[in-house]
């Protein structure tokens, strides 16, 4: 019986073309994702710089601007998107790692700014520092609790999350200041470092201010 | 593309896409011929050959009457059509139903002890003296013009058998509607397999053979309760050509629930795998053309890949349950709080696997559209197609896996 080898070859070329196109489209969309992350970071960077300058120019009159929730929301948005990149296996991608480092630095900068303004501004957001590691079994649960709290108290709560395994000296210094060490997860609330998993109720007990306000949950994914 | 799993998934998808594209290229290559089949002129009744239609029955009292009525309503000269019903030791009222048709001159009943479908067919074939012989399962119904169209396809002397276009009879349940779509794909596939000389089944419902086929290759065998697959493979192994008449429409009763469907498909798939094992010398053997080099190896390979699909689905399911459990541990009942869903392209899955999967589904949809066009009057509704696409890939792996287990551990199955 005769076999039409040409047809076998043509089918192979068509199939290979479809698979290569799929690989190219997917990689193009991934690069668009990294661009999007970069844009958000640039926007946060500009907003932070602007808030910093306003504060220095106007002193306490800029308290309102300094603690507007836009920066907090953008940081939360960036955090969600970086977690998503990690969840789809792009966490080790060099450009994503760089973006993650940059994000950590932006968080520290925002944290320092709010600390420096603390004495002058009567109303400032509550901050939680959260240190996690990719190999820690309870960190996923802790992350969910903090995302929930951040979404429900967007106007008064800022959660700064740091990958303890990330090679950024500023993150290491921050961890050293608060004596953050294993076991993870570790959260720093009102200057106190707590290790291990803490539920919504545990954190609400430590921060009774949260009980007074609740904002509608945003629909950002985690 | 950083895990072994992704690489294997993409390879499986590549293989499926390759098969689909090969089928579509073959269709477009022979499109005019395939479309032309239904436009062929009707033969003069005087020049038509004699045909015996065998109806093997085992406990078919509910359906055999309708089957016989459909045969008596065939648009074929009475004097050239012989109908033989074989009661294979039924324990219900089948014999009484058969007796009630004895008033027809060209109808004969053979009553025998139960010995299996192949024994019923062989007894009738050995007694028939017509030029052509076919079988119609006692749960299937032929359209009036089907026999004429099947006989017209024997337009070349080297065509030894012709298979019809099978459709689900009166689909009511979701499971039957899924099968309706599956049968439309089957109608398309059989047309293409015929063009490739790679038909691996001559279905029990109304495949017609030249009588000499049984002299050349022998009678039916038990063949792991899939005698219709074995007969096709035996014919292919001897180089006998099997054609397809997609315009010869035959309806067949289909399982109405998942349990019955599972049993039927385990029997079919186990039988197929057993028969391929028996005819393994055809695999990757150029002497057997497309069926040996491509179709059978692909079917075997896809059966193995099904095991991988099951493992993947299981793994994803466990992961999903674990994620839910973690979320429940973290948030308690708060996890059930309603939040408005929001669309953001950033969070859309855009992996190469997803795009290749969409391409594979698109090809299946093209199969369905072409299958529907071939079988005018049996078009699938959108909801039926959606049910098929969403459900079939989740249910089919289970019977394939079970069949592979049966073949590996040499388990034989009964008909019912």
Under an 8 A CB cutoff, do A10 and B337 touch?
Answer: no
B contacts of A25 (beta carbons < 8 Å): 350, 352, 355
Which residues have CB under 8 Å from A55's CB, separation 6+? A62, A63, A65, A66, A113, A117
Under an 8 A CB cutoff, do A219 and B331 touch?
Answer: no
Under an 8 A CB cutoff, do A81 and B356 touch?
Answer: no
- At residue A60, the pLDDT reads 57
Distance from CA of B358 to the nearest CA of A (A): 10
- At residue B64, the pLDDT reads 94
CATH number of domain containing B226 = 3.90.550.10
- Mean local confidence (pLDDT), A150-175: 88
| Number of domains observed in the structure of chain A | 2
Under an 8 A CB cutoff, do A199 and B355 touch?
Answer: no
Among the residue ranges A42-56, B66-80, B187-201, B207-221, the one predicted with the least confidence is A42-56
Residue A78 sits in the same domain as residue A131: no
A contacts of B342 (beta carbons < 8 Å): 219-220
B284 touches chain A (CB under 8 A): no
Residue A80 sits in the same domain as residue A152: no
B10 touches chain A (CB under 8 A): yes
Distance from CA of B262 to the nearest CA of A (A): 32
pLDDT band at A222 (very low <50, low <70, confident <90, very high): very low
Q: Is A128 helix (H, G, I), strand (E, B) or coil?
A: strand
- Phi then psi for B18, rounded to 5 degrees? -60, -45
Q: Which residue has better confidence, B165 or A80?
A: B165
The chain B residue lying nearest A85, using CA atoms, is B347
Supply the mean pLDDT for chain B. Answer: 89
CA distance A185 to A166: 15
Which residues have CB under 8 Å from B175's CB, separation 6+? B254, B255, B256, B257, B258, B261
Under an 8 A CB cutoff, do A15 and B18 touch?
Answer: yes
Under an 8 A CB cutoff, do A36 and B10 touch?
Answer: no
- At residue A115, the pLDDT reads 80
Position A1 pLDDT exceeds 70: no
pLDDT band at B38 (very low <50, low <70, confident <90, very high): low
Task: Return the percentage of chain A with pLDDT > 90, whole number.
Answer: 30
pLDDT band at B241 (very low <50, low <70, confident <90, very high): very high
- At residue B203, the pLDDT reads 93
Question: Which of B17, B342, B346 is facing A18, going by the closest CB pair?
Answer: B17
Q: In this predicted model, what pLDDT tens digit does every residue of B280-311 receive, in sequence order? A: 999 999 999 999 999 999 999 988 888 887 78
Position B413 pLDDT exceeds 70: no
CA distance A198 to A185: 9
- At residue B350, the pLDDT reads 84
pLDDT band at B15 (very low <50, low <70, confident <90, very high): very high
CATH number of domain containing A176 = 3.40.30.10
Q: Which residue has better confidence, B338 or B397?
A: B397
B contacts of A11 (beta carbons < 8 Å): 18, 21-22, 25
Structure tokens at A69: 């929730």
Q: Is B256 helix (H, G, I), strand (E, B) or coil?
A: coil
Residue A132 sits in the same domain as residue A213: yes
B18 touches chain A (CB under 8 A): yes
Torsion angle defined by CA atoms of residues B363, B369, B374 and B380, in that order, rounded to the nearest 10 degrees: 130
- Count chain A–chain B contacts defined by CB atoms under 8 A: 96
Position B217 pLDDT exceeds 90: yes
pLDDT band at A219 (very low <50, low <70, confident <90, very high): very low
Q: Where are the alpha helices (DSSP H) in B30-144?
A: 31-37, 64-72, 94-99, 117-127
- Mean local confidence (pLDDT), A127-133: 92
CA distance B236 to B193: 12
| Number of domains observed in the structure of chain B | 1
Position B414 pLDDT exceeds 60: no
Q: In this predicted model, what pLDDT tens digit does every residue of B329-357 receive, in sequence order? A: 888 877 777 766 677 888 888 889 889 99
CATH number of domain containing A106 = 1.20.1440
Task: Print the domain residue range for A75.
Answer: 1-119
Among the residue ranges A90-99, A192-201, B38-47, B262-271, the one predicted with the least confidence is B38-47
Under an 8 A CB cutoff, do A23 and B351 touch?
Answer: no
**Residue B200 lies inside a defined structural domain of this protein:** yes
Residue A160 sits in the same domain as residue A213: yes
Task: Print the domain residue range for B183.
Answer: 51-257
- At residue A221, the pLDDT reads 35
Position A214 pLDDT exceeds 70: no
**Residue B158 lies inside a defined structural domain of this protein:** yes
- At residue B37, the pLDDT reads 64
Position B259 pLDDT exceeds 80: yes
**Residue B307 lies inside a defined structural domain of this protein:** no
| Among candidate residues A119, A146, A175, the one where a domain is terminated | A119
Position A61 pLDDT exceeds 60: no
Question: Which of B289, B347, B356 is facing A18, going by the closest CB pair?
Answer: B356
Residue A113 sits in the same domain as residue A204: no
A contacts of B199 (beta carbons < 8 Å): none
- At residue B305, the pLDDT reads 86
Position A161 pLDDT exceeds 60: yes
B contacts of A221 (beta carbons < 8 Å): 344, 347
Question: Which of B197, B293, B339 is facing A217, going by the closest CB pair?
Answer: B339
Distance from CA of A217 to the nearest CA of B (A): 7
- Phi then psi for B245, rounded to 5 degrees? -120, 95
Residue A97 sits in the same domain as residue A136: no
Position A217 pLDDT exceeds 60: no
Concatenated DSSP letters for B44-61? PGGGPPPEEEEEEESS-T
Q: Is B218 helix (H, G, I), strand (E, B) or coil?
A: coil
B4 touches chain A (CB under 8 A): no
The most confident of the ranges A38-47, A85-94, B34-43 is A38-47
Distance from CA of A195 to the nearest CA of B (A): 16
> Smallest Cα–Cα separation from B51: which of B21, B84, B19, B27?
B84
pLDDT band at B412 (very low <50, low <70, confident <90, very high): low
- Mean local confidence (pLDDT), B302-331: 84
Distance from CA of B4 to the nearest CA of A (A): 13
| Among candidate residues A119, A137, A155, the one where a domain is terminated | A119
pLDDT band at A154 (very low <50, low <70, confident <90, very high): confident
């Amino acid at each position: 019986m005769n076999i039409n080898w040409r047809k076998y070859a043509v089918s192979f070329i068509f199939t290979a073309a479809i698979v290569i196109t799929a690989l190219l489209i997917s990689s193009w969309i991934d690069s668009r994702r990294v661009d999007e992350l970069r844009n958000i970071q640039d926007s946060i960077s500009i907003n932070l710089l602007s808030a910093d300058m306003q504060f220095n120019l106007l002193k306490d009159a800029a308290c309102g601007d300094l603690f507007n929730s836009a920066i907090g929301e953008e940081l939360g948005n960036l955090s969600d998107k970086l977690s998503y990149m990690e969840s789809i296996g792009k966490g080790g991608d060099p450009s994503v790692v760089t973006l993650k480092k940059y994000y950590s630095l932006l968080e520290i900068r925002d944290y320092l700014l709010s600390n420096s303004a603390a004495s002058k501004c009567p109303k400032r957001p509550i901050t939680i520092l959260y240190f996690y590691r990719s190999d820690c079994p309870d960190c996923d649960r802790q992350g969910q609790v903090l995302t929930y709290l951040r979404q429900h108290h967007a106007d008064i709560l800022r959660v700064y999350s740091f990958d303890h395994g990330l090679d950024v000296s500023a993150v290491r210094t921050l961890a050293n200041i608060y004596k953050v060490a294993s076991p993870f997860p570790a959260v720093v609330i009102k200057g106190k470092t707590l290790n291990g998993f803490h539920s919504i109720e545990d954190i609400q007990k430590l921060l009774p201010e949260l009980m007074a306000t609740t904002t509608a949950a945003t629909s950002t994914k985690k | 593309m950083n895990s072994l799993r992704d690489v294997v998934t993409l390879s499986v998808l590549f293989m499926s896409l390759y098969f689909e594209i090969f089928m579509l290229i073959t269709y477009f290559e022979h499109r005019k011929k395939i479309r032309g089949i239904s436009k062929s002129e009707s033969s003069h009744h005087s020049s038509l050959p004699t045909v015996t239609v065998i109806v093997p029955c085992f406990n078919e009292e509910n359906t055999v009457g309708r089957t016989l009525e459909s045969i008596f309503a065939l648009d074929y000269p009475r004097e050239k059509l012989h109908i033989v019903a074989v009661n294979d030791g039924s324990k219900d009222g089948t014999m009484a139903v058969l007796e009630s048709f004895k008033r027809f001159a060209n109808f004969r009943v053979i009553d025998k002890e139960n010995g299996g479908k192949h024994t019923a067919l062989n007894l009738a074939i050995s007694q028939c003296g017509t030029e052509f012989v076919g079988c119609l399962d006692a749960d299937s119904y032929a359209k009036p013009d089907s026999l004429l169209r099947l006989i017209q396809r024997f337009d070349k002397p080297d065509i030894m058998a012709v298979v019809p276009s099978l459709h689900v009879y009166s689909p009511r349940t979701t499971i039957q509607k899924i099968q309706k779509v599956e049968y439309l794909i089957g109608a398309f596939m059989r047309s293409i397999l015929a063009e490739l000389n790679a038909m691996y089944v001559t279905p029990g419902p109304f495949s017609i053979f030249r009588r000499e086929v049984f002299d050349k290759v022998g009678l039916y065998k038990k063949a792991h309760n899939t005698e219709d697959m074995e007969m096709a493979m035996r014919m292919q192994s001897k180089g006998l050509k099997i054609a397809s008449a997609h315009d010869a429409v035959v309806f067949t009763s289909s399982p109405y629930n998942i349990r019955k469907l599972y049993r039927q498909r385990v029997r079919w798939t186990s039988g197929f795998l057993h028969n391929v094992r028996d005819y393994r010398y055809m695999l990757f053997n150029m002497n057997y053309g497309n069926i040996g080099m491509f179709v059978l190896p692909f079917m075997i390979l896809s059966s193995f890949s099904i095991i991988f699909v099951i493992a993947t689905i299981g793994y994803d399911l466990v992961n999903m349950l674990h994620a839910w459990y973690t979320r429940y541990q973290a948030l308690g009942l708060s996890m059930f709080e309603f939040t408005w869903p929001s669309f953001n392209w950033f969070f859309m899955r855009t992996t190469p696997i997803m795009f290749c999967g969409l391409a594979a589904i698109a090809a299946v949809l093209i199969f369905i559209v072409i299958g529907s066009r071939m079988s005018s009057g049996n078009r699938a509704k959108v909801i039926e197609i959606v049910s098929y696409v969403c459900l079939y890939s989740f249910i089919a792996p289970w019977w394939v896996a079970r069949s592979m287990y049966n073949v590996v551990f040499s388990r034989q199955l009964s008909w019912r």
